[in-house]
Amino acid sequence: MAHMHTPPQPDVVSGDQYRYALTNFRIAHEKVEEQRLQLLEQENQVALLRARIALLEGTNQPHFGVSKLNGNSVDDFSIKNAASALERQINRWAADLVRAPPVPLNAIRQAALTDVFDDNPTELEPQTPNATGIQVQSLLRHAVSKTIAEGIINSLIITDSPEANIQLTRIHEHIFSRDPTVAAVWRRQTFSAAVETCSLEMSHFFLSEHMPNLTQLLGIGNDKTTPSGAVIPVLEAAYEFSRMLHSAPSSSGGMVDAFYRAFVPDVGSVMNPRQIELVKRCHKTERGEPDRVGAAVFPGLVKVTRGAGGQAPDDVHTVVRRAQVICECALNGGSQAAPNAPGGY
């Protein structure tokens, strides 16, 4: 006898259960919609904030990822190109001075070492009795690089008053430690009112502060056409480079606010390959043997950033351009130095 198959019974819930489930679904849907509207509102607020920052900076760029200055992109690539041009100008001044020295090379070397080591007598003894052209040229470049780094790039040169510039630099450091976005806007607004060029008085102030012995020995005065006085246009170009670094709008609409600092490795310090680039090859370094800095012929550049809202415990330093360095053995003409390597390595 065949068995009759009973058709499956449909699931049946009570009216109360159905209304309860429907109510919960509606509440959940309303919560999702409320969260979506909140996210839209946050996005609108962020967009308004970015527009406000751009307005304060004096730029209304549709893309905030690239900083602009006078219509030109100010990014790491542009900075490297500008730095290379300034480096060539420093080298040209030093080479011209060594080619026709106004005083003996030994005297120039001694004055350069005195300035480089800040008159520290325990570090002034040269390793070779007679100065060579490469020694003097490299030490001149080191002295100027140190002047540019400490006197111009690492300070905010806004006015012709050194005291006012020191105070403005301290104010910026204080603001940056609290909020990098505010610091970026403040820095750009402040530089919009900065002096257009580096005055002759400011150039002499930089020289008297950082190169007093060379300035006196070489008789650097107001005449920019003399071999020694040609350092004045170098400092003026360095000021233009500094303005490019510091007055660019904040990148990414305030999301990655940064400013730049320069560094010059000390003569005689151990070389750090992450921070320096050799302008002459050295067999000691290639063999993995330690060597020391003979002279830094151009400063390195780092980009200083902090976490969002300045909440990171420490500043983050990113090397944008390594310091250009000649090692001790190459500077002193030792047998370890190999031929020049164009562009370093």
Residue pLDDT, tens place only, 140-158: 999 999 999 999 999 989 8
pLDDT at 188 over 70: yes
pTM of the model: 0.73
From residue 100, alpha-carbon distances to 126, 132, 230, 231, 251 in Å are 22, 13, 13, 15, 46
The pLDDT tens digits of the residues spanning 251-293 come to: 544 445 678 899 999 998 888 888 999 988 777 777 877 788 9
The neighbouring-strand residues paired with 259 are 304
In angstroms, the CA 150 to CA 260 distance is: 12
Which has the higher per-residue pLDDT, 137 or 197?
A: 137
- Please report the pLDDT score of residue 234 as a whole number: 96
Tokens of 161: 């008053």
- Please report the pLDDT score of residue 124 as a whole number: 60
The angle, 0 to 180 degrees and rounded to 10, between the axes of the packed helices 76-99 and 105-116 is: 140
Q: Tokens 């007598």 correspond to what residue? A: 121
- Please report the pLDDT score of residue 343 as a whole number: 36
pLDDT band of 181, cuts 50, 70, 90? confident
Query: For 128-151, what is the mean pLDDT?
Result: 92
C-beta neighbour count of 252 within 10 angstroms: 14
- Please report the pLDDT score of residue 2 as a whole number: 52
Q: Tokens 């000390």 correspond to what residue? A: 266
Q: Tokens 């005083």 correspond to what residue? A: 103
Beta strands in the chain (DSSP E): 68-69, 72-73, 258-263, 276-278, 280-282, 293-298, 300-305, 316-321, 323-327, 337-340
Mean pLDDT over all residues of the chain?
80
pLDDT at 191 over 50: yes
- Please report the pLDDT score of residue 272 as a whole number: 86
Q: Tokens 């070389």 correspond to what residue? A: 271
- Please report the pLDDT score of residue 127 as a whole number: 65
In angstroms, the CA 106 to CA 211 distance is: 17
In this structure, what are the phi and psi dihedrals at residue 122, rounded to the nearest 5 degrees? Answer: -75, -10
In angstroms, the CA 12 to CA 300 distance is: 77
- Cα 232 versus chain centre, distance: 23
- Please report the pLDDT score of residue 22 as a whole number: 78
In angstroms, the CA 277 to CA 287 distance is: 16
Question: Position 203: which residue type?
Answer: S
The neighbouring-strand residues paired with 72 are 69
Tokens of 233: 């246009």
In angstroms, the CA 272 to CA 154 distance is: 21
- Cα 29 versus chain centre, distance: 51
What's the sign of the alpha-carbon dihedral 272, 136, 120, 157? negative
Q: Are 303 and 320 in contact (CB under 8 A)?
A: yes
C-beta neighbour count of 105 within 10 angstroms: 17
From residue 196, alpha-carbon distances to 38, 149, 162 in Å are 46, 19, 16
Tokens of 107: 């005297």
DSSP 8-state secondary structure symbol assigned to residue 156? -
pLDDT at 342 over 80: no
